[in-house]
């Protein structure tokens, strides 16, 4: 499993538009066969900061995700809404692992 946390800082005037655009991406991403989980969270003490929690079954799933129409649409739509470029940090799952997550056989 590969986990990526994508940290995003949005300009205050675009928070609502960013959420709307991101929900389209998140809902569609969660349906991809290579994705175990795709969460979208907002920081409580600073509503201009968001994190995407992307959990992939395989190492090639992130690249496949970045080829989808919904990701490309999201990427282009939100690019000018950000204070700074988004930052993705990659992690490996220790617990739960694929077995606890219910990796598809």
Q: 9-54 pLDDT, tens per residue?
A: 999 999 999 999 999 999 999 999 999 999 999 999 999 999 999 9
Q: Which residue has the higher pLDDT, 79 or 100?
A: 79
CATH code for the structural domain at 1-54+85-93? 3.30.70.100
Peptide bond into 6 cis (omega under 30): no
CB contact burial 46-58 (16+ within 10 A = b; e otherwise): eebbbbbebbbbb
Q: What is the mean pLDDT of residues 60-70?
A: 96
CB of 22 within 8 A of CB of 94? no
pLDDT for residue 95: 78
pLDDT value at 101 more than 90? no
H or E, element range at 15: helix 15-29
Average pLDDT across the chain, whole number: 93
β-pair type (2-9, 49-56): antiparallel
Place of tokens 């349906």: 31
Which among 93, 88, 83 has a CA at the least distance from the CA of 66?
A: 88
pLDDT for residue 93: 80
Could you tell me the pLDDT band of residue 99, with boundaries at 50, 70 and 90? Answer: low
């Amino acid at each position: 499993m590969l986990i990526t946390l994508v940290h995003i800082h949005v300009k205050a005037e675009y928070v609502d538009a960013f959420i709307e655009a991101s929900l389209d991406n998140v809902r569609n991403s969660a349906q991809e066969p290579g994705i175990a989980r795709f969460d979208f969270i907002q920081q409580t003490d600073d509503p201009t900061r968001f994190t995407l929690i992307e959990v992939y079954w395989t190492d090639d799933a992130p690249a496949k995700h970045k080829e989808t129409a919904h990701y490309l649409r999201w990427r282009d739509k939100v690019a000018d809404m950000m204070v700074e470029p988004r930052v993705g940090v990659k992690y490996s799952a220790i617990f739960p692992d694929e077995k606890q997550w219910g990796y598809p056989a």
